[in-house]
Structure 1
Amino acid sequence: MKKYWFLSLSFFILILDRVTKEWVVKNFYRFETKKILGNFLRFTYTRNPHGVFGIPLGGKYLSLILTLCAFVFVIYLFIISKERFLAFALSLIIGGAMGNLWDRLTAGSVVDFIDVGIGRWRWPTFNVADSFVTIGIILAVAYWFFEEKRKGARSTCV
């Protein structure tokens, strides 16, 4: 299976992530909030020096090392994948991971700006890269779950 299309998708996600983050950095003050869909969807410019959801992972360098290890592992999974659906899911993760790695390597923190919530309950602020990583993980887990069920069903039929 040729994977060039999937890698093109990863680079498109990287470019989309970079463009949106640059737009936010140039048009917002830090912690400035603009309502997009009332109070439900807002853009709030923040920087996250930590891991996912702002959880500290033992310092900037440990966080970077863990991120790089996870990135290399996903690349490995992409290389050995033989199914188009799994390659698609992994390409979403790779594209998003490249966007956040870019920020970590160049600025030491990740630009976040998508702020979603209802009333006083707010989801941790995130970005375009995070969205694609999340979608890719959900699709990959679904693939592995259904693939295991399919393998189990096949083995019981023999």
Structure 2
Amino acid sequence: MNRWGVFFIITIVGLVVDQATKLYVDRVMVLHQSIPVIDGLFNFTYLRNRGAAFSFLSDASWRLPFFIGVTLVAAVVIVIALKKMRDDQKLAQVSLAMIFSGAIGNLIDRVRLGEVIDFLDVYWKTHHWPAFNVADSLICVGVALIALDMLKEERRQQATSE
């Protein structure tokens, strides 16, 4: 399968899982409701985030156009980067598809609701990581994988130059 097929499949699967989980949480939970999954570690907690990561810019009046613009620019950059990649850069291709899918998933929420639905609540005792969702997870894992691919690429280039 070529890079565009992989990109399309990962994007669609990521979007479906992200949007389905958000719709489910929105329908079966009440805002701020928390359901323990693993005591002392993980809950489903229904929250809404008007800002970016960690509620950054949540009170800014210009936040929605800003987030839409940034997401659209990022999407274009991702498509251009994917087009320029070599065929053997499979991990980077998957990574970009994950980041793209996550960005579009949160964009759908912002356009539809003016905010993003978050529900994954990871914590240790009383210390909670900010709640997140499947789209956020796709973005974070995608960024981690692209960093790993960059390290592999650097090593590959060093090995060929020796």
Query: Does 4-13 or 22-31 show the bigger shift?
Result: 4-13
Which whole-Å CA distance do the structure 2 matches of 1:51 and 1:69 have between them? 16
1:8-87 aligned within 5 A? 8-56=9-57, 58=60, 59-82=63-86, 83-87=89-93
Cross-structure match for 1:106: 112
Cross-structure match for 1:90: 96
What stretches of structure 1 move > 6 A for 4+ residues in a row? none
Which whole-Å CA distance do the structure 1 matches of 2:128 and 2:158 have between them? 40
Which whole-Å CA distance do the structure 2 matches of 1:68 and 1:96 have between them? 12
What are structure 1's unaligned runs of at least 5 residues? none
Which whole-Å CA distance do the structure 1 matches of 2:67 and 2:6 have between them? 30
What are structure 2's unaligned runs of at least 5 residues? none
Cross-structure match for 1:119: 125
Which whole-Å CA distance do the structure 2 matches of 1:80 and 1:7 have between them? 17
Q: Could you report, residue by residue, the CA deviation over 1:43-95 in whole angstroms, capped at 9, with x for unpaired residues?
A: 11111111122211752222222222222212221222222221111111112
SS across alignment from 1:39? coil
**1:114 CA displacement:** 0.2
Query: Does 46-55 or 129-138 show the bigger shift?
Result: 46-55
SS across alignment from 1:146? helix
Q: One-letter code of the match for 1:15?
A: V
Which whole-Å CA distance do the structure 2 matches of 1:108 and 1:137 have between them? 25
Aligned: 1:136 with 2:136: no
Aligned length: 156
Query: Does 32-41 or 113-122 show the bigger shift?
Result: 32-41
TM normalised by structure 2 equals: 0.89
Q: Could you report, residue by residue, the CA deviation over 1:15-34 in whole angstroms, capped at 9, with x for unpaired residues?
A: 00111000000011111111
**1:146 CA displacement:** 2.0
